[in-house]
Amino acid sequence: MVKSYEAGGTEFRLSVPRLDILKGAKLAFVGESGSGKSTLLELLAMILRPTESKAFNFQPAADGQIHDIAAAWESADADHLSDLRSRHIGYVLQSGGLLPYLTVRDNINLSRRLVHRSTEDVAEHWAERLNIAAQLDKQPAKLSIGQRQRVAIARSLAHDPSVLIADEPTASVDPLHAERIMELMIGLVDELGVTLIVASHAHRLMGRAGLQMIDHAIDAVSGNSMHVTVSDASS
């Protein structure tokens, strides 16, 4: 798969010759700012249309079927892609991405509302797990940055996705809280059997959290290629 951008007379090209991510894997793409981490996560989340895509298959644990994502992009089947995305992917945006006019409760419930699932006691359950139970009736602006990140993680897991994709989930919090948030997130994905894909600058933090690191894999200067097989955590 290839994604290229051209802007201001420069080209950015991310090429992924091969990438296999197996169920239950926990991995981090680590690289410099501008190296293409967010671009890669958005491709994997089926948000960003690849420039070229020879093959891109997605087999969500929840339905077991193999979906041909390359073909869906080719035929511009936006409904299929958005259906897969909303059912099987949890996404924590680099910027947090909470809706400012909704309460914490409604932000957490949003991912389930999108797929028409019951929200009864859901926000309460996730808020308890992520130590933000006292924040449920507040709007995001009234929360600390670390609390907002925890709300974003709660929202990304509330609809029982197969894959959690988190873009710099701890970039805006201090090192102590970053470690706590990573511990919470790892604990939850281990318990739920969710595949975790993180992008981060924080090499040491990712290592301590026990994530498999894909380092220097994305190299914007030298033509950037990646050839990685990420093994099944359970095998």
By the rule CB under 5 A, 200 interacts with Mg ion: no
Cβ proximity to ligand ATP: between 48 and 133 the closer is: 48
Least Cβ distance, residue 203 to ligand ATP (angstroms): 13
Least distance in angstroms from the C-beta of 19 to ligand ATP? 15
Residues 6+ apart with CB under 8 A from 163: 44, 60, 88, 89, 90, 194, 195, 196, 197
Q: Would you tell me which residues interact with ligand ATP (CB under 6 A)? A: 5, 7, 12, 31, 33-39, 94
- Rule CB under 5 A: say whether 38 interacts with Mg ion: yes
In whole angstroms, how close is the CB of 5 to ligand ATP at the nearest point? 3
Q: How many residues bind Mg ion (CB under 5 A)?
A: 2
The entry of ligand ATP, Mg ion, none that residue 141 binds, CB within 5 to 8 Å by partner kind: none
Measured CA to CA, the distance from residue 44 to residue 39 in angstroms comes to 9
Q: 27: which 2 tokens?
A: 């991995």
| Cβ proximity to Mg ion, 38 vs 135, nearer residue | 38
CB of 29 to ligand ATP, least distance (A): 8
By a kind-dependent CB cut-off of 5 to 8 A, residue 36 interacts, out of ligand ATP, Mg ion, none, with: ligand ATP
Residue 33 interaction partner, one of ligand ATP, Mg ion, none, beta carbon < 5-8 Å per kind: ligand ATP
